[in-house]
Amino acid sequence: MPPSPTPLYLDWQFWAAAVAVLALLLSQLPPVVLWFRPRRLEVEVHSRIQVTHKVGNPNVGMFVSIRNTGGRVLRIRSLQIVLTRDNRPLTTLPAQNYFESPSAQSSVLFVPFTLKPGDTWAHGTNFLNFFDRATEKLYRETESKLRADIRDKLDARAEGNSNPVIAEPELVAPFVTLFGQLFVWQSGEYVAELIVEAEPGTALFSRKYRFTLYESDTAELQAHVDDYKLGGGVSFNVDKHVGVFVPLSQHGS
């Protein structure tokens, strides 16, 4: 009678071969151990937030650092800030563009991106809502008329006259009206909830921060209107319209 075959669990040759195969896999694929780590984002922000506006339309600038501390590739779909003032809902501002480096003079369009495990995305980011189509059309038409009026008056100045010229009141009025409709930066206590949406959804990040605007901050932002008659803040950028930079801290800390 032939001898019974050795059970697989007692076959030392089988287990030696299995261990050798496992060792080979681990040597060829060192990141395999990361597959079992949770999907996770680590998000940090700068201690100051930039608050400004474009003809009243609210803009927020924030330096955001996002690091993938999990074990899988993550796709960052969007960033947005949900604002409240004195515990009342105010507006939601999506990330629209960012600066590729600290020395960059112009921003680039924000689009979804991927982060490998250990990778970091860190940029100064602008959060705002673009004008709707009707407002954008009105803005372009009225800005063109205001710019043409200022150009004609500059051309008509006497030689050697370097004084600024002022646009006709009826051409400035639409921008003052738009400012009144869109401006939200009244003095008060603000909460900015930063939301990072990622795929898969289990990697969603949300954290609340707080900041304060004082009456002097509001007055500084409202003073931008004074430059509209010169074309400042409408046809061309003005350095002082950069806004106010105020301290930002984690809400509830």
Secondary structure (3-state) at 204: coil
Is 127:94 a contact under the CB 8 Å cutoff?
yes
Q: Has residue 35 got a pLDDT over 50?
A: no
Cα distances (Å, whole numbers) of residue 208 to 69, 184, 247 = 20, 19, 14
Question: Does domain 41-130+184-236+243-250 match CATH 3.40.50.300?
Answer: no
Cα 48 from Cα 62, distance rounded (Å): 7
The rounded mean pLDDT for the chain is 87
Q: What is the mean pLDDT of residues 172-176?
A: 97
List of residues 6+ apart from 97 with CB closer than 8 A = 107, 108, 109, 110, 125, 126
Predicted model pTM: 0.82
pLDDT in tens, 210-222: 999 999 999 999 9
Q: Which of 3-17, 107-121, 197-211 has the highest mean pLDDT?
A: 107-121
- Number of helices followed by number of strands (H, E) in the chain: 4, 12
Distance between CA atoms of residues 59 and 65, nearest Å: 19
CA distance 85 to 63: 21
Q: How far is 91 from 208, CA to CA, in rounded Å?
A: 15
Note if the bond before 30 is cis, omega within 30 degrees: no
pLDDT digits (tens, 9 = 90+) for 71-101: 889 999 999 999 999 999 999 999 999 999 9
Domain ranges of the chain: 41-130+184-236+243-250
Lowest mean pLDDT among 48-57, 138-147, 150-159: 150-159
